């Protein structure tokens, strides 16, 4: 963390395209083992093993404060504690780093910024913010939807322990512009705060790694340093919270437009 923490009351990236042979190497060969037991033992086992994966990952998420080192809510930090110039997108404040490149994903109909794609060398992370319930988490449901959608598309999805709790690792089949079969590999991180959920989709070299190594350390630090400024307007849980352009960017765009008209 590179800013003070308050005393709280408590260019397009190559989307990890790899060839079909690599896809085959990524396939899991796990097989379920048959268990023979009498009726009573089987009944007990069924009761104990009911939704084991859901229980395991929910327990992992609840096991600690995964946001201790960020991402942060605006009430948890003091952005005036240093002289670093940050990018204020309204609902999120991002801390740039040397060599960072950014692309904004804008809804052409509403002209609102839906997500920010930040590139660091051969890696990238897409940041998006969503409304969330005040007392409960919707991360588990979102993960389940991602896994189901990936499998429906013929891809592979698995859950694993990541730096922010349970992360989703996906291998999604795609077709490149030349018609070749490739796969897109990614890791998805989630961070839950007061009535918000921040999603980070990690791609490129960092998307193919696991844990936090030299390849993924920079995108990890970027995601951790994100500060969320959720407004007080009521929103449906799961709805995207649109970003707004920083004043400096908006002013520059307006000046360029005025120059072009002249």
Q: Is residue 165 part of a domain?
A: yes
pLDDT in tens, 64-119: 999 999 999 999 999 988 889 999 999 999 999 999 999 999 988 888 899 999 99
Residue 221 or 26, more confident = 221
Tell me if 208 sits within 8 A of 17, measured CB to CB. no
pLDDT digits over 149-164, tens only? 999 999 999 999 999 9
Q: Is the pLDDT of residue 139 over 70?
A: yes
pLDDT at residue 213 in the model: 84
Residue 227's alpha-carbon distances to 82, 238, 261, in angstroms, are 15, 19, 37
Task: Give a yes or no: residue 32 inside a domain.
Answer: no
Burial class (CB in 10 A: 0-12, 13-18, 19+), 44: exposed
DSSP for 221-234, please give it: HHHHT-EE---SS-
pTM of the full predicted structure?
A: 0.76
Q: Decide if 226 is inside a domain.
A: yes
Evaluate whether 116 touches 201 at the Cβ level (below 8 Å).
no
Domain annotation covers residue 156: yes
pLDDT band at 6 (very low <50, low <70, confident <90, very high): low
Percent of the chain with pLDDT strictly greater than 70: 73
Tell me which residue range forms the domain holding 247.
Answer: 41-261
Query: Within a domain: residue 144?
Result: yes
In a domain, 2, yes or no: no
pLDDT, residue 151, reads 95
Q: What CA–CA distance (Å, rounded) separates 53 from 252?
A: 50
Cβ-contact 199, 105 below 8 angstroms: no
Is residue 183 domain-resident?
yes
**Integer CA distances (angstroms), 167 to 7, 65, 170, in order:** 29, 15, 10
How many whole angstroms separate alpha carbon 189 and alpha carbon 164? 6
The tally of domains found in the chain comes to: 1
**For residue 59, is it within any domain?**
yes
């Amino acid at each position: 963390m590179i800013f003070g923490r308050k005393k709280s009351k408590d260019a397009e990236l190559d989307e990890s395209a790899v060839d079909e042979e690599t896809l085959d190497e990524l396939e899991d060969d796990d097989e379920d083992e048959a268990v023979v037991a009498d009726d009573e033992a089987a009944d007990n086992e069924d009761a104990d093993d009911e939704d084991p994966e859901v229980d395991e990952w929910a327990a992992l998420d609840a096991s600690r404060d995964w946001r201790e080192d960020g991402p942060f809510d605006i009430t948890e930090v003091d952005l005036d504690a240093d002289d670093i110039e940050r990018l204020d997108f309204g609902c999120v404040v991002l801390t740039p780093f040397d060599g960072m490149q950014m692309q904004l994903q804008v809804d052409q109909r509403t002209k609102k910024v839906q997500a920010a794609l930040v590139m660091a060398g051969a890696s990238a992370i897409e940041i998006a913010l969503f409304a969330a319930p005040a007392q409960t988490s919707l991360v588990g449901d979102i993960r389940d939807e991602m896994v189901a959608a990936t499998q429906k598309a013929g891809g592979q999805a698995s859950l694993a322990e990541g730096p922010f709790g349970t992360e989703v690792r996906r291998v999604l089949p795609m077709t490149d512009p030349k018609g070749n079969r490739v796969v897109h590999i990614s890791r998805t991180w989630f961070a839950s705060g007061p009535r918000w959920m921040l999603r980070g989709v990690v791609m490129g070299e960092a998307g193919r790694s696991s844990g936090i190594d030299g390849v993924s350390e920079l995108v990890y630090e970027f995601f951790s340093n994100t500060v969320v400024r959720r407004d007080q307007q009521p929103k449906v849980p799961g709805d995207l919270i649109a970003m707004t352009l920083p004043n400096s960017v908006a002013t520059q765009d307006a000046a360029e437009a005025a120059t072009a008209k002249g």
